[in-house]
Structure formats: C-alpha cells, structure tokens
A = this chain, B = another copy of it.
C-alpha cells in the first residue's frame, strides 16, 4: 500500500494478530496501549497511532480478523449444503474445538471481549452484539427449516429450541474460560442434540 517514504519497522499484520489475541484474552478495556505496544515489539506511541489510528480502531480491525479466521467456525450455521440439524451440531462442535485449542485464548472473542464494561464502550458492545444476533437468527432459521422440510413437527417451540442451542453456544465460551476441555464440551453438545432428536419425526 505505502509506496514511498520510510518503511514501517514492524509487521503490521502480525501486530494486528497480537492485538487480536490480547483483546480476545482480556477484553477491550482490559488491554492498555502500553501492553499492546510492548507485545508488538516495543513500538513507539507515534508508530502505533500512525499505523492504527486509535485503540478503538485497532479493536475493530482485530475483531474483523477474528471473524475472518477463528470466527468462521460458526459458518456451518449458514451452510445450505448441510441438513438443519447438522448445521447446528457442526457449529457447536467446531466452536468447542476452536475455543479449547492451545495457541490462542480460550472462549470466543465475540462473546467475551466486549460484553461487559464501562458505558464508554457501548459502540463496541454493539459490534459484538450484532454478531451474536446474526448467529441467533441463523439458529432459528435452522429450526424453522427443519419444520418446513418435515424433520421437526410444526408444534415445536422454535424460539425455545433455538435459544437452548444459542445459550449453549454462548455458554461454551465461559466453560472454555473455566478450563473445560474440548472432550467435555463435545459431551455437552452430544447431550444437547438429544433434545432435537427427541422432537424429530424421522428416527436417527
């Protein structure tokens, strides 16, 4: 992008990745500029602001990176090549696996990094809330699709069943933060899927 002028002395993409992990681990307000700059290799305040604009702008960029990488685990919810039940199960299992894999913070950045905090972060809370809302709607759509294609009976409490999976998806972040392993989370998911199977018309 930059064609002329003194070249940047650090890898911007790597720095954003570092920021992503820090915000993911500690939340937006739990990370200081000092922490970010130090983790980025001790870059100066001027370099930081020249490269990223502000702490909030960096967070937005870090969240985008997260959504485009780790966050893709919930894409299964919108995968039309899968039956509705499998969309939900795959999203849950991939989330559980990703959120307990070493090499990055546990839990989900969308769920944890900007949910509680001071009133000054209302805008960022809205950002992550929008993402959670999108998953919520996708889960509801899985249930309604299953009713439409005859997998689930029409009398099913769509909102309630969807909220159960949604609640578990969100809860997995907290379980992962509390140190639960991927195996345990997978066991939880297996049991949650029973609630679907009990309602299903065709035996599985």
Contact = CB atoms under 8 A, between A and B. Distances in A.
Contact of A187 (B129, B161, B175): B161
Interface string A131-155: 0110010000000000000000000
Nearest to A113: B116
Given A27-B117, A30-B116, A118-B31, A133 B178 contact: yes
Interface in A78-119: 111-113, 115-119
A32 interface: yes
Interface string A163-177: 110111111111101
Contact of A191 (B169, B174, B185, B195): B195
Given A163-B188, A169-B171, 11 more contacts: A26-B118, A29-B30, A30-B117, A31-B118, A112-B116, A113-B116, A160-B191, A161-B188, A167-B185, A191-B195, A194-B194
Interface of A: 25-27, 29-32, 111-113, 115-119, 129, 132-133, 136, 157, 159-161, 163-164, 166-175, 177-178, 180, 184-192, 194-195, 197-199
- 10 closest A-B pairs by CB: A160-B187, A171-B171, A167-B171, A163-B188, A164-B188, A170-B174, A170-B171, A27-B116, A30-B118, A164-B191
